[in-house]
Amino acid sequence: MASAGPPPIHVVFALLPGSLILDWAGPAEALRIANQCLRAQGLAERFLLRFAGPQAETVSSVGAHIAGLLPLAQALPADPAASTWLVLVGMPGRCIAVDNAPTRALLHWLRGLRLASGRLELLTVCAGTLLAAHAGLLPGRRVTTHHHHLDELREVEPACEVVDNRVFVEDAPVWSSAGVTTGIDLVLHRIADACGEAIAAQVAQAMVVALRRGPHDPELSPLLAHRSHLHPALHRVQDAVSGAPQADWSVPRMAAVAHVSPRHLTRLFMQHAQVAPLDYLRRIRLAVAQRALQNGQEVQRAAELAGFASDTQLRRAWHRFDLPDTPSTLRAAR
pLDDT in tens, 41-61: 999 999 999 999 999 999 999
- pLDDT of 211 > 50? The answer is no
Q: Is the pTM of this model over 0.85?
A: no
The single-letter code of the amino acid at 178 is: A
Q: How do residues 264-308 score in pLDDT, each as one tens digit?
A: 999 999 999 899 999 999 999 998 898 888 878 899 999 999 999
Ramachandran region of residue 99, left (φ > 0), alpha (ψ -120 to 50) or beta? alpha
Strand-strand pairing, 47-53 and 9-14: parallel
CB of 48 closer than 8 Å to CB of 9: yes
Report the pLDDT averaged over residues 115-127: 96
Domains and CATH numbers, the chain: 9-206 (3.40.50.880), 232-332 (1.10.10.60)
Q: Do 237 and 229 contact (CB within 8 A), yes or no?
A: no
In angstroms, rounded to a whole number, what is the distance separating the alpha carbons of residues 49 and 240?
Answer: 40
State the pLDDT at residue 228: 64
Lowest mean pLDDT among 186-190, 223-227, 256-260: 223-227
Q: pLDDT at position 222, please?
A: 66
Is a pLDDT exceeding 90 seen at residue 123?
A: yes
For residue 170, the number of C-alpha atoms closer than 13 Å in the C-beta half-sphere is 11
